[in-house]
Structures are given as structure tokens and as C-alpha cells.
Amino acid sequence: MVQNKTGFSKLSKEEKINWIAEKHFSNPKEAVNLLQRYQNFDASLQKLHDEFIENTLTNFYLPLGVAPNFEINGKNYTIPMAIEESSVVAAASKAAKFWSARGGFKTIILGTEKIGQVHFLYEGDTQKLIEYFNFVKPFLFSEVDSITKNMQKRGGGISDIQLIDKTAALENYYQLHANFQTKDSMGANFINSCLEQFAKTFKNKSEAFGMPSIQIVMSILSNFVPNCVVRAEVSCPVSELNEDKNNTSSEFAEKFLTAVKIAEVEPYRAVTHNKGIMNGIDAVVLATGNDFRAVEAGVHAFASKNGSYTSLSHAKIENGIFTFWLEVPLALGTVGGLTNLHPLVKFSLEMLGNPSATELMEIVAVAGLAQNFAALRSLTTSGIQQGHMKMHLNNILNQHQATKEEKLLVVAHFENQTVSHNLVVDFLERLRTN
């Protein structure tokens, strides 16, 4: 057994693959061949990918597509999107084209502050703790000078450190709550390094001040960034919302507004509504080498910040002008991490003009707003399935190994009919039996 020798992590890549294949698959040779097919033929590039994570077997690919024609603050972008879901790139592209003819997208950065915390327990007198914090605060700053030096040169660093009393929520629980500016880097390593030094300093100087009962629990950044927010919006006269042949522009606008209001008051709808926004956001976050899991967590916490989960986007009609916007927290980076390592991340960032972190926030937010507009437009007019299932049709045909000739016949048959998996399979089987 692997565990009785050197441990799985100590095996070579080839040994890991063979062990997995023999232990878990009825046809080990087929499993090995599959993993090898997804290896990169460029050995140096494969080595780079292998070292991103641990126990690497092969690569798991996602399509990288582009959505052109995005006009943002008067500048044109072609936006990279890494995603596997049918119709997302097409919908974003269609929304981009629609709004490029109506003034484009406008954005504004509302804040770039990030948060980190040292969580600790203290059983003594709160007033004495406050006195100690006021004493130690200058040392918290000075003893991270070596960590913050380069960040400060770029205009970032630590904005403030506060002592927060959380004992009403959890007995003896306090925190050091720190605010950071990390400029073009996402800053996770920088923030966590500062926090760990805060914890050491806070603990080391406590006994000399007569505070022996401080117990450090943990030091970690927060992915909830309610002060690192971007606003993206579009607007035009209601009369220019002339995309629905079955309704007037004003009827479409009112129905669209109602759909947004439903998402604002109904959490069951809001979750799916916001998932559509994240289709656009996550795809660009992935393509630019950022942490989509951190973004997801922060966004959904932001959607719940007032005590009930609600829509991230909003709409209004005032004086004949339709306005649609969202405000979303996005802690992103354009330097460090995968941005310096992954060749396709470099490609994506260069295609975007090598944006700053704040510019990337704007681009990502716009992708989310465009996706949401496209989804709501479909939902309130033709329905979501018509376009989505037509885009999904090719996946169904590939799944059932349709030939080129069969694909042409199936696509022609469903040109003006509702697409469903069962109907496609039934038609394909009829073709093959005739």
C-alpha cells in the first residue's frame, strides 16, 4: 500500500497515476490514457501547471472564449471568459452589442478597502484591554514595517487597526480589525503576513503590560469586503428599449423592472438572479487568474448584508429614462499569484490592456451586469430555455456522438421548435433507424 511506504504525495506523477488507475478503475489502461491525453505536449508548460497545486494528475480544461464590443467608460474591450456553461458568452456578447449602441456601460469605484482580523479571547477587564490596545497600537504598525515597505511605495498599506468587542455575540471574544489598501494585488499573502505579525506583537507585549489572559485564536483576512465595491450601470430612453417584437418599449421596461423588484424581495428568486450575475463575473475572474471562490463568498455575503438575501442589481424609470445597475464587492488583483505564472492569464490581461486592479473591478462588474440584463431580457420575453437549449443542442449531439450530417439535420429540424434533451434524442434515433 502507498501509505505504508513513502506516502502518496511522495510518489512520482507517473506512480500516482498508476496507483489511482489500478485502485479505482475497472479499466486502468483506459484511465491512464485519458489522463495522458489531457497532459500538455509542452513539457515545460505541463511542469508549470503541475506545480500550481499538489498531487497533480493532469489538467482539467475549461473553454476560454471572448465577448467583444464592450464599451466601458468610453473605452472598447474584448472580455475573456473561462466557463463551461452554454450561452453565457453569447448572452454577454449580445448585451454588450445592445448597450454599445446606447452609450455603453458606465462604472465608478466606490471603495477599495480590504479587511483582516486577529481573533482572540480575553477574560479580564474590558477597560484595561482598551488601555493596552492604545499602548500597543503604535507597535502593531512599526513591527510590520518590513512587510509593508514595498506596498507603501505603491500607495498601499494599513489604513487603520481597531479593537472590536464581540463579547455580546461570544463570551470573551474580541478582535483586532484591520483595514488594508493593496493597490493592484489581491493582497491575501500581504494581509495575512501583517495579521500574523500583529498577533505576535499583541501577545508578546501583553504580559509586560499585565495582560496575561490574552489567547490568540487565529489571524486571517476576510473575504467579506463591503468597502471594496464597484458600481456598473447602463441607461437609455425607454423608447430605445425596442428589442421585444411582442411588446412596446414601455411594456418591456415595466416588465423588466417588475422582474428586478421580485428578485429584490424574494430570496428564492434572488439566489438564481444573482447566480446569473455570477455567470459573467466568475468567467472573467477565472480568465484573469483571480480567486472566484473568494469573490463568490464575498458577493453573497454582500447580498445578505441587510439581514435578508436580495438582488445585487436594481432598475428604475425616471423622466422616461431606463437605468439598470449593480453594486458588487470585488477584491481582485492584476499582479502576483497566477497573474505572473499562467500564460493564458497573461494573455487575458494583455487583451484587456493590462488593467489596474480597479479597472479590472469595473470590467468584471460590467460582465456581471451584461449577463444579468441578457438573462432578464430572455426571461421577460421569449423565456430562458429557447436560447439556452439551442446553445445546448450541440452538447447533446456530441454526447450522443452525432455525425456531421446528423448534426445538420437535427439543427435544421429544431430551427423553429422547442429544444429538449428527450426530443433531440428521439429525433436522432429516428434518423438512425430510417
pLDDT tier, 426 (very low <50, low <70, confident <90, very high otherwise): confident
pLDDT at residue 400, rounded to an integer? 84
More confident residue, 125 or 389: 125
pLDDT at residue 110, rounded to an integer? 98
> pLDDT tens digits, residue range 59-98?
999 999 999 999 999 999 999 999 999 899 999 999 999 9
172 close to 122: Cβ distance less than 8 angstroms: yes
Beta strands in 210-351 (DSSP E): 215-222, 229-237, 313-318, 321-329
pLDDT at residue 411, rounded to an integer? 81
pLDDT at residue 163, rounded to an integer? 98
Buried b (16+ CB within 10 A) or exposed e, 114-146: bbbbbbbebeeeeeebeebbeebbeebbebbee
CATH assignment of 81-111+229-382, among 3.40.50.10490, 3.40.50.970, 3.30.70.920, 3.90.770.10:
3.90.770.10
pLDDT at residue 155, rounded to an integer? 93
Which residues are known catalytic residues?
A: 85, 275, 291, 388
pLDDT tier, 420 (very low <50, low <70, confident <90, very high otherwise): confident
pLDDT at residue 308, rounded to an integer? 97
Q: pLDDT over 70 for what percent of the chain?
A: 95
pTM score, whole prediction: 0.88
Average pLDDT over residues 29-36: 97
pLDDT at residue 427, rounded to an integer? 81
Q: Where are the alpha helices (DSSP H) in 27-87?
A: 28-37, 43-50
pLDDT at residue 413, rounded to an integer? 82
113 close to 239: Cβ distance less than 8 angstroms: no
More confident residue, 353 or 389: 353
Count the alpha carbons within 13 Å of 167 in the hemisphere toward its beta carbon: 10
Name the residue ranges covered by the structural domains of the chain. 2-50, 81-111+229-382, 114-222, 387-433
Place of cell 504598525: 141
pLDDT at residue 242, rounded to an integer? 78
pLDDT tier, 57 (very low <50, low <70, confident <90, very high otherwise): very high
Name residues whose C-beta falls within 8 Å of residue 176's C-beta, 6 or more positions apart in sequence: 117, 118, 120, 133, 140, 161, 162, 163, 164, 195, 198, 199, 202
Q: What is the DSSP string of 147-159?
A: HHHHHHHTT-EEE
What's the topology of domain 114-222? Alpha-Beta Plaits (3.30.70)
Q: pLDDT over 90 for what percent of the chain?
A: 81
| Average predicted confidence (pLDDT) for the chain | 93
> pLDDT tens digits, residue range 2-32?
555 568 999 999 999 999 999 999 999 999 9
pLDDT at residue 269, rounded to an integer? 98
> pLDDT tens digits, residue range 160-170?
999 999 999 99
Q: Across-strand partners of 81?
A: 65
Average pLDDT over residues 290-307: 97
- How far apart, in whole angstroms, are the C-alpha atoms of residue 227 and residue 113? 5
Q: Which three cell numbers stand for residue 302?
A: 454582500
pLDDT at residue 389, rounded to an integer? 61
- How far apart, in whole angstroms, are the C-alpha atoms of residue 343 and residue 346? 5
Q: Which three cell numbers stand for residue 272?
A: 438564481
- How far apart, in whole angstroms, are the C-alpha atoms of residue 191 and residue 336? 13
> pLDDT tens digits, residue range 137-155?
999 999 999 999 999 999 9
Residue 304 is which amino acid? S
Average pLDDT over residues 274-294: 97
pLDDT at residue 274 above 80?
yes
> pLDDT tens digits, residue range 309-358?
999 999 999 999 999 999 999 999 999 888 889 999 999 999 999 999 99
Lowest mean pLDDT among 116-125, 357-366, 377-386: 377-386
- How far apart, in whole angstroms, are the C-alpha atoms of residue 146 and residue 144? 5
pLDDT tier, 383 (very low <50, low <70, confident <90, very high otherwise): low
pLDDT at residue 331, rounded to an integer? 96
